[in-house]
Structure 1
Amino acid sequence: MEIKNSLTSPELLPTKDSERDISLLDFTLLWSGMTINIAGFAIGAQLYPGLSPMKIIYAILVAYLMVTGLLVLTGDIGIKYGIPFAVYTRACFGYKGSYIAGFIRAIPCFFWFGFQTWVGAIALNEVMKMLVGYSNVTLLIILFGAIQIINAIYGLKAMAKFDWIAIPTLAIVLGAMMFWLLKTHNVTIVDILATPGDNTAPFSFAVMGIAGGWITMALNSPDLTRSLKRSENYENQTFFQRNKNSIIAQILGLVLVGTAILLVGMTAGILTGTWNPIDVVIESFGSSKPVVLAFCFLTIVFAQWSTNTAANLLPPAYIMLNIFPKLNFVTSTIISGIIGIVILPWKFGNYLVQFQAITSGLLGPIVGIMITDYYIIRKQKLNVKDLYEEGGQYTYKNNFNPAGMISLFISFGIAMIFSDYAFFIGFGLSVVLYIVLMRTMVLNKYDQKIGQHIPFD
């Protein structure tokens, strides 16, 4: 009974149609809000001079289109079955094996929540210095972190509503920043694109540096799509019909918006040599314009806020509920936020691209195993009932799926040997290993009811 209770946390149960209240517009705003963030700006700046501007643009397009494809593939799990990432990994790794996959997934969430909270606190601190002449970054990190946690506790609908403020204001600031950067340095977009790079960074490394953070969301795509409205006839729709709104929202909110912010960051990196948006804002607008500066700084705060709630607090909160079933969503969200702050990720601000690339290599095998399990092994038909039952078909050997665990660790270990191609090697190898191991070690020993859809009771 203890295991059964641990598997049926209310927040992890499949969403009902009445709980699916996110529209196409809401979902587009949600993705735009997550994408408009200073991490993207900073990574765009740090890619130069390792690559030329044109190669950076190619890397951006390749990265975001690849991520969109992964998001749609994993997001179908949430649309069709209403279950989050933390629950689906029970099928891939076993009831307890899912803890390991979840812990790995939570690492970048903690890092980025803390880092982006720090950026927002720095911006707030600049405003506070202008208004009252007082500075206390530590206090503002705590206060800003607490505000974001409270917003996340109220769910995806509250996060999407907040994006109505964050997206337009940041779009204005980014446009103004781009204008002033070009004007003050007396250059044009054509001049920027013609700027030579030293081409010391591998193209694949740049792609994964850009995509790394969003590959984390490819894992947690079901956490978002499980709240997306769907057609009453969804069971008879094709894959693309069922996922149409998800595809549209992510092309608009991720690919287009993400490309724009990375290009502004790249321009700032080329012209100023810095990745810190606070320094770029001061250089662009000058300390003689306090009202403009205050607006820009507050907009930077909104940008971190809109990203952190959905991308960096919601996923680890669900993961912690899976690992520690006695927690509730409020408590797990608070703990996730605290961890992100106490690890002080801003100490590693000069190595964001490297962190993204390592992250992508770590998560590539999990993405590969998850997609392979859903599409190739189970053919999109799940025994949802057993995902929540003690002693169900996902018990495997001592609650660990040997195929999933072996594939994960071997793929990651080999991928790290070839760090510039870590994601591609880890992803591809995990697909092959998982298929072979499932068919030779697991399916002939543990009945997985392949091809059967058994709903949750």
Structure 2
Amino acid sequence: MKKNNYLKSPDLLPIKGNERNIGMFGFAMIWVGMAIVLAAFAIGGGGIQHLPLGMVILATVIGSVAIGIFMSVISDIGIEHGLSFPVYMRAPFGTIGTHIPSVVRGVTASCWFGINTYFGATAINAILNLLFDFDNWLLCFLLFAVLQLINTSLGIKSIERFADLAAPIIILIACWMYVTLADQAAEQGKNIWSWVESPTTGGAAFTAFMVVVMANMGFWATLAADMPSLSRFFKAPKHERNWFKRNRTQLIGNLIVMPVFNTFMIIIGAVSYIAVSNADPIVALQGAASGFILGILLLMIVLAQWSTNTSANVIPAATIFSNVGGPKVPFWVGVVIAGIIGTLAQPWSLFDFLNTVLLIIGGILTSIVGILFADYYLLRKRRVNVHDLYELNGQYKYMHGFNMAGMIAWVIGGIIANLLPAYSSLVGFVVGAILYYVLAKYWWFKKYKQKEIENPSDEKFLGITVGRDWVIQVDDDLEVNQELVNENIT
């Protein structure tokens, strides 16, 4: 490897088949941990102010399944080629252009890490206050952050083991939480299925409904964009051409487990708001329980934030920062950077504005998802010149490292999406995909030819479907992997 070829950072090389160790059950357990996240309660608390609980649930299911489909579609990049999100982004955005949308995603993930860590820290502080009369949430925040960052630095298998431990505990305590809050609401004479703070009808009701749908999509849009960073570790059969069979590890998690548990969290947030006029369950639980029971419930909150942060926030952010920094920024350094950004964002001040922020984020990031979809499925038809993704002067260098089709589609898609905030996630995806497809096919790729588009060969440009593990040579004196030379890709 040339010493200045930062594209070949070891942490960003394709994952081989024998290194993929997350199975269907393991990913389902990871999703249980990821989906039970306190920030979701804010969506339920916001929705129940204008819609009955049944409509909030329906909107949540629709939004969850829709973003689950987006996740599953984009995940194939990691499963087929073993590529992470920031590496594949070199195709639609360029070897340098990739850093701009990627860093936006990385900073967003880091802020989510901070928000979830803050929730966990307040729960830890409450537990210590209960047991030892200790009260210092900031110290709890710093210690909790460090523990999560260490857990993530130990690798994906460590995260899966933690999820296996935490998931059943979280499920049981979440059920107890729902029953407790529902009983508390009933004692006040409130029927959780019919109570609405400010009922709406007609067009206003539909807008409120769509805001809940889009908030749920925006909530998970960050993960939908960079699912390849996680899916590259999923077990998948070689020589399998059926998309559903090849992607079976992720489908139950994305389309069943996530919608079910995300919806459950939204319900708890809504019922919490009905019971105590506050969607923050820590406030609600401190008024509904005490002693040992309160300690156990708060422990659930700690485990939920921990399991969510490692998989959904720190891994994607660290991978992105490692991509930007090259070999001088290994994965563990990216983990530390994510922790620092998440802390400096002062997450304790973000919760009250969360629903508004989610709509904005949803439009910006789902436009990236739309661009990835158009680039990977519609233009390249899942074939990728993986070798050139790691070359400074390869086909993805484009114009000084920028694919202007991707940059223009992303900016316009994000702007239009946020002009229609009630539909931001869907608008972002559709506009991003259509704009990129037109600009790339009829303009950019006329100027910068793409080998996999000009010659869509399965044997040269597919990965696990044809049984290939992509191996990139990083030795100083070898620029091209011998396997790729033998196949005459270049």
Give the TM-score normalised by structure 1. Answer: 0.95
| Structure 1 counterpart of 2:109 | 109
1:243 equivalent in structure 2: 247
Q: 1:167 to 1:42 in 2, by over 3 A?
A: farther
Greater mean alpha carbon deviation, residues 355-364 or residues 88-97: 355-364
* CA deviation profile, 1:355-394 (whole Å, cap 9, x unmatched): 1111101112111100100000101111011001121110
| Corresponding residue of 2:260 | 256
Q: d(CA) in 1 for partners of 2:190 and 2:83?
A: 47
Contact 2:322 2:333 in 1 (8 A): no
> 2 CA distance for matches of 1:283 and 1:251?
35
Which stretch has the larger CA shift, 197-206 or 385-394? 197-206
Partner Cα separation in structure 2 for residue 62 and residue 187 of structure 1: 31
Deviation at 1:247, TM superposition (A): 0.5
Give 1:85 shift. 0.3
Q: Corresponding residue for 2:321?
A: 320
1:389 is aligned to: 391
Aligned CA distance change for structure 1 residues 188 and 371 (closer, same or farther; 3 Å): farther
Contact 2:190 2:274 in 1 (8 A): no
User: CA–CA distance in 2 between the matches of 1:188 and 1:232?
Assistant: 58
For residues 143 and 238 of structure 1, the distance between their equivalents in structure 2, rounded to whole angstroms, comes to 46
Q: Which residue of 1 aligns with 2:420?
A: 418
Contact 2:59 2:209 in 1 (8 A): yes
Cα shift at 1:271: 2.0
Would you say the 8 A contact 1:97–1:401 is kept in 2? yes
Residue 340, structure 1, aligned to residue 346, structure 2 = no
Contact 2:21 2:233 in 1 (8 A): yes
**Partner amino acid for 1:306?**
S
1:409 maps to 411
**2:107–2:338 CA contact under 8 A, matched in 1:** no
* Residue from 203, 227, 232 that aligns with 2:233: 227
Distance 2:100 2:3 in 1: 17
* One-letter amino acid of the counterpart of residue 415, structure 1: A
- 1:1-36: CA deviation from partner (whole Å, max 9, x where unpaired): 768621111111110112111111111111111111
**Structure 2 spans left out of the alignment, 5+ residues:** 462-469, 472-480, 482-490
Distance of 2:220 and 2:383 partners within structure 1: 26
Query: What is the letter of the counterpart of residue 309 of structure 1?
Result: T
SS in 2 for 1:299: helix
**Do the aligned residues in 1 keep the contact of 2:269 with 2:280 (CA within 8 Å)?**
no
Equivalent residue for 1:119?
A: 119
Q: Counterparts of 1:22-33 in structure 2 under 5 Å?
A: 22-33=22-33
Q: Give the aligned partner of residue 169 of structure 1.
A: 169
Tell me by how many angstroms 1:186 deviates.
2.6
1:38-437 alignment to 2 at 5 Å? 38-186=38-186, 191-196=191-196, 197-199=198-200, 202-234=208-240, 237-285=241-289, 287=290, 290-325=291-326, 326-437=328-439
SS for the counterpart of 2:49 is coil
C-alpha deviation, 1:203, in angstroms: 2.2
Number of residues of Structure 1 aligned to a counterpart in Structure 2 = 452
1:99 CA displacement: 0.2
Q: Give 3-state SS (helix, strand or coil) of 1:32's partner.
A: helix
Distance 1:189 1:117 in 2: 35
Asked if structure 1 preserves the Cα contact closer than 8 Å seen for 2:69 and 2:255, the reply is no
Give, as a single letter, the amino acid of the residue that structure 2 aligns with 1:339.
Answer: I
Cα deviation code 1:228-255 (max 9, x no counterpart): 1111333xx2111111221012234301
Cα distance in 2 for partners of 1:20, 1:367 equals: 24
Question: How far does the alpha carbon of each residue in 1:31-81 deviate from its partner, in whole angstroms, 9 at most, with x for none?
Answer: 111111111223222222132222211111111110111011000111110
Separation in 2 of the partners of 1:15 and 1:45?
A: 41
Q: CA deviation at 1:189?
A: 12
Counterpart amino acid of residue 444 in structure 2: V
Which secondary structure does the structure 2 equivalent of 1:442 belong to? Answer: helix
Displacement of 1:89: 0.3
Alpha-carbon separation, structure 2, partners of 1:348 and 1:248:
32
Give the deviation of 1:415 after TM superposition: 2.1
Partner of 2:464: none
Contact residue 369 and residue 431 of structure 1 kept, 8 A: yes
Equivalent pairs: percent with the same residue? 34
Contact 1:268/1:274 (CA < 8 Å) preserved in 2?
Answer: yes
Matched position secondary structure for 1:215? helix
CA distance in 2, matches of 1:431, 1:4: 33
Q: Are residues 304 and 101 of structure 1, via their aligned partners in 2, closer, same or farther at CA, if it must alter by over 3 Å?
A: same
Would the alpha carbon gap of residues 34 and 188 (structure 1) be closer, same or farther in structure 2, given more than 3 Å must change?
farther
Q: How big is each residue's C-alpha offset from its partner over 1:134-156, in whole Å with a ceiling of 9 and x where there is no partner?
A: 21111111000000000011122
What SS does the aligned partner of 2:89 have? helix
For residues 248-281 of structure 1, the C-alpha deviation after alignment (integer angstroms, 9 at most, x for no partner) is 1223430111111211221111222101111111
Distance 1:418 1:436 in 2: 22
Aligned-partner residue type, residue 207 of structure 1: V
Residue type at the aligned position of 2:304: A
Q: Name the CA shift for 1:137/1:260 in 2 (closer, same or farther; >3 Å).
A: same
- The AA in structure 1 aligned to 2:216 is I
Distance 2:403 2:121 in 1: 43
The whole-number CA distance in structure 1 between the counterparts of 2:236 and 2:98 is: 28
Change (3 A) 1:222 1:3: farther
Structure 2: how far apart are the matches of 1:44 and 1:353? Answer: 10
Matched residue type, 1:107: V
1:121, distance to aligned residue in structure 2 (A): 0.7
Superposition deviation, residue 188 in structure 1: 12
Q: Is the 8 A contact 2:185 2:191 kept in 1?
A: no
Amino acid at match of 2:227: S
Partner AA of 1:121 in structure 2: A
Aligned equivalents of 1:26 and 1:291: distance in 2? 31
Q: Give the conservation status (yes or no) of the 8 Å contact 1:92–1:369.
A: yes
> Partners of 1:245 and 1:223 in 2: how far apart?
15
